[in-house]
Structure 1
Amino acid sequence: MIDTLRGPRRALGGAPELSSVERLERFLGDPWDPGQKVRYARGPVAAPLADACAHLDAWGLHRYYVPVEHGGELTSLQELFDLVRTVARRDPAAAVTHARTLLGAAGVWVAGDRDQARHLGSLVTAGETVVLGGPERQHIGDLLTGEVTARRNRRGYRLDGERWLLDNAAGGRLMCLLARTVPHGGPRGFSLLLVDQRDLDPATFRHLPEVPAVGLRGAGTSGVAFHRAVVDRAARIGAEGQGVEVLLKVLQVVRTISPAVCLGTADRALRLAVRMASEREAYGSSPYGHPLTRRVLGEAYADLLAMEALGAVAARSAHLAPGELSVTSAAVRSLLPAVVDGVLARLRELFTPRSLPFGTRLTCPFDQMGRDHRVVTALDGATAGCHALVSQFRALARHHAQACERQVPAGVFDLGAPLPPVPWAELNLVARNGSGLLGTLPESAQVLRRAAQTAPELAAPARLAARFAAAVDSLPDTLPRTPRTAAGLTPKDEDAAHRYALLLAAAACLGVWCHAGEVNRAWPDGLWLHAVLCRLYARLKPGDRPFLAVASPWGSGRDEELFERMSQRLALQCQAGEALSLLPSRTAESDPC
Structure 2
Amino acid sequence: MTGERRRLRFRRFATRLERALDGGGAVRRRRRPGVCAALDRCGLSAYYVPAEYGGELTDYTELHQALRMVARRDPGVALAHGRTFHAVAPVWVSDDAVAAHRVGRLVVGGTRIASSLAVPGMGPEPHTGVSAYPVVGGYRVDGEEWVGDDLAPGSYVSLLSRTSPVATPRAHSLLLLRPDSLPGRGGPSGSRRLAFCDTRVGADALVGGEGRGAEIVLKARQLGWAAGSALPLGAAEHALRERLAGSRPPQTRRFAEAYADLLLCEALSLVAVRSVHLLPGELSVTSAVVGLLVPELTGAAALAEDAHLCREVLAAQFRSLVRGHRSPHDHRPQLDRLFGAAEAVVPFAPERIGLFSRHGSAVLGTLPLSVRRLRHLARAAPEFGVAAGHAERLLEVTDTLHQRLPGPAVTGDPGLGRGYALCFAGAVCAGLWLGGGPAVGDGPDGLWRDGLWLEACLTRVLAHLGVRPPSGADGALFDRLATVMIRQYEDGRPFSLLPFPMAEGEPR
Letter in 2 for 1:526: G
Within-5 A mapping of 1:34-183: 35-36=24-25, 39=27, 41=28, 46-135=29-118, 144-171=126-153, 173-183=155-165
Within-5 A mapping of 1:483-522: 489=412, 493-516=413-436, 517-522=438-443
- Residue 399, structure 1, aligned to residue 314, structure 2: no
Q: CA separation in 2, counterparts of 1:18 and 1:591?
A: 23
Query: Compared with structure 1, are the counterparts of its residues 339 and 321 closer, same or farther at alpha carbon in structure 2 (3 Å cutoff)?
Result: same
More relative contact order in 1 or in 2 (CA 8 Å, sep 6+)?
1
Q: CA separation in 2, counterparts of 1:224 and 1:445?
A: 53
Deviation digits for residues 102-154 of structure 1, max 9, x if unmatched? 11111111114222212211221111121111139xx9x99634241112122
Within-5 A mapping of 1:514-593: 514-516=434-436, 517-522=438-443, 523-541=448-466, 556-585=471-500, 587-590=503-506
Q: CA separation in 2, counterparts of 1:166 and 1:464?
A: 42
Letter in 2 for 1:310: L
Q: Secondary structure at the match of 2:242?
A: helix
Name the counterpart of 1:450.
376
Letter in 1 for 2:18: L
Q: CA separation in 1, counterparts of 2:346 and 2:239?
A: 34
Q: Is the 8 A contact 1:169 1:224 kept in 2?
A: no
Q: Is the 8 A contact 1:255 1:329 kept in 2?
A: yes
Deviation digits for residues 144-188 of structure 1, max 9, x if unmatched? 342411121221212122112341134552211111111133311
Query: Compared with structure 1, are the counterparts of its residues 21 and 270 closer, same or farther at alpha carbon in structure 2 (3 Å cutoff)?
Result: farther
Letter in 1 for 2:207: I
Name the counterpart of 1:384.
309
Q: Secondary structure at the match of 1:306?
A: helix
Query: Compared with structure 1, are the counterparts of its residues 178 and 156 closer, same or farther at alpha carbon in structure 2 (3 Å cutoff)?
Result: same
Q: Is the 8 A contact 1:402 1:433 kept in 2?
A: no
Deviation digits for residues 490-511 of structure 1, max 9, x if unmatched? xxx2211111101111111111
Q: Is the 8 A contact 1:410 1:515 kept in 2?
A: yes
Name the Cα RMSD after superposition.
2.7
* TM value normalised by structure 2: 0.91
- Residue 28, structure 1, aligned to residue 18, structure 2: yes
Q: Is the 8 A contact 1:64 1:80 kept in 2?
A: yes
Letter in 1 for 2:75: P
Name the counterpart of 2:270.
312
Query: Compared with structure 1, are the counterparts of its residues 21 and 442 closer, same or farther at alpha carbon in structure 2 (3 Å cutoff)?
Result: farther
Query: Compared with structure 1, are the counterparts of its residues 403 and 88 closer, same or farther at alpha carbon in structure 2 (3 Å cutoff)?
Result: farther
Q: Secondary structure at the match of 2:143?
A: strand
Deviation digits for residues 185-224 of structure 1, max 9, x if unmatched? 33111111121347x44335121112xxxxxxxxxxx021
Q: Secondary structure at the match of 2:344?
A: coil
- Residue 472, structure 1, aligned to residue 398, structure 2: yes
Q: Secondary structure at the match of 2:347?
A: coil
Q: What are the ranges of 5 or more consecutive residues in structure 1 without an aligned counterpart?
A: 1-7, 211-221, 281-286, 342-372, 543-551
Using the TM superposition, name which of 422-431 and 450-459 deviates more.
Answer: 450-459
Q: Is the 8 A contact 1:394 1:481 kept in 2?
A: no
Deviation digits for residues 428-468 of structure 1, max 9, x if unmatched? 11112101111011112222222223222212111111222
Deviation at 1:62, TM superposition (A): 0.4
Letter in 1 for 2:10: S
Letter in 2 for 1:160: D
Using the TM superposition, name which of 99-108 and 396-405 deviates more.
Answer: 396-405
Q: Is the 8 A contact 1:578 1:584 kept in 2?
A: no
Name the counterpart of 1:370.
none
Give the number of equivalent residue pairs: 498
Q: Secondary structure at the match of 1:36?
A: coil
Q: Is the 8 A contact 2:322 2:406 kept in 1?
A: no
Query: Compared with structure 1, are the counterparts of its residues 411 and 180 closer, same or farther at alpha carbon in structure 2 (3 Å cutoff)?
Result: same
Query: Compared with structure 1, are the counterparts of its residues 113 and 275 closer, same or farther at alpha carbon in structure 2 (3 Å cutoff)?
Result: same
Query: Compared with structure 1, are the counterparts of its residues 208 and 35 closer, same or farther at alpha carbon in structure 2 (3 Å cutoff)?
Result: same
Within-5 A mapping of 1:183-202: 183-197=165-179, 200-202=181-183
Letter in 2 for 1:155: G
Deviation digits for residues 12-66 of structure 1, max 9, x if unmatched? xxxx9457367435643497x79436x3x4xxxx421101101111111100101
Q: CA separation in 1, counterparts of 2:503 and 2:484?
A: 16
Q: CA separation in 2, counterparts of 1:170 and 1:112?
A: 28
Q: Is the 8 A contact 2:115 2:148 kept in 1?
A: yes
Query: Compared with structure 1, are the counterparts of its residues 114 and 386 closer, same or farther at alpha carbon in structure 2 (3 Å cutoff)?
Result: same
Q: CA separation in 1, counterparts of 2:406 and 2:478?
A: 35
Which residue of 202, 222, 228 corresponds with 1:232? 202
- Residue 375, structure 1, aligned to residue 358, structure 2: no
Deviation at 1:560, TM superposition (A): 0.6
Deviation at 1:417, TM superposition (A): 1.4
Q: CA separation in 2, counterparts of 1:17 and 1:187?
A: 42
Q: CA separation in 1, counterparts of 2:242 and 2:20?
A: 14
Q: CA separation in 2, counterparts of 1:303 and 1:20?
A: 27
Query: Compared with structure 1, are the counterparts of its residues 483 and 121 closer, same or farther at alpha carbon in structure 2 (3 Å cutoff)?
Result: farther
Query: Compared with structure 1, are the counterparts of its residues 320 and 576 closer, same or farther at alpha carbon in structure 2 (3 Å cutoff)?
Result: same
Within-5 A mapping of 1:253-272: 253-272=223-242
Q: CA separation in 2, counterparts of 1:87 and 1:18?
A: 20
* TM value normalised by structure 1: 0.78
Query: Compared with structure 1, are the counterparts of its residues 474 and 377 closer, same or farther at alpha carbon in structure 2 (3 Å cutoff)?
Result: closer
Q: Secondary structure at the match of 2:176?
A: strand
- Residue 463, structure 1, aligned to residue 445, structure 2: no
Q: Secondary structure at the match of 2:346?
A: coil
Q: CA separation in 1, counterparts of 2:118 and 2:124?
A: 7
Q: Secondary structure at the match of 1:72?
A: coil
Query: Compared with structure 1, are the counterparts of its residues 17 and 76 closer, same or farther at alpha carbon in structure 2 (3 Å cutoff)?
Result: closer
Query: Compared with structure 1, are the counterparts of its residues 426 and 270 closer, same or farther at alpha carbon in structure 2 (3 Å cutoff)?
Result: same
Q: Is the 8 A contact 1:179 1:191 kept in 2?
A: yes
Q: CA separation in 2, counterparts of 1:177 and 1:591?
A: 36
Q: Is the 8 A contact 2:45 2:107 kept in 1?
A: yes
What is the identity percentage for the equivalent residue pairs of Structure 1 and Structure 2? 38
Q: Secondary structure at the match of 1:440?
A: helix
Deviation at 1:384, TM superposition (A): 2.0
Deviation digits for residues 288-307 of structure 1, max 9, x if unmatched? 5xxxx111122111111011
Q: CA separation in 2, counterparts of 1:574 and 1:452?
A: 32
Which residue of 239, 247, 250 corresponds with 2:220? 250
Which residue of 279, 283, 286 corresponds with 1:325? 283
Query: Compared with structure 1, are the counterparts of its residues 441 and 390 closer, same or farther at alpha carbon in structure 2 (3 Å cutoff)?
Result: same
Q: CA separation in 1, counterparts of 2:218 and 2:351?
A: 13
Q: Is the 8 A contact 1:461 1:529 kept in 2?
A: yes
Letter in 1 for 2:303: V
Deviation digits for residues 300-322 of structure 1, max 9, x if unmatched? 11111011000110111111111
Name the counterpart of 1:369.
none
Query: Compared with structure 1, are the counterparts of its residues 166 and 30 closer, same or farther at alpha carbon in structure 2 (3 Å cutoff)?
Result: closer
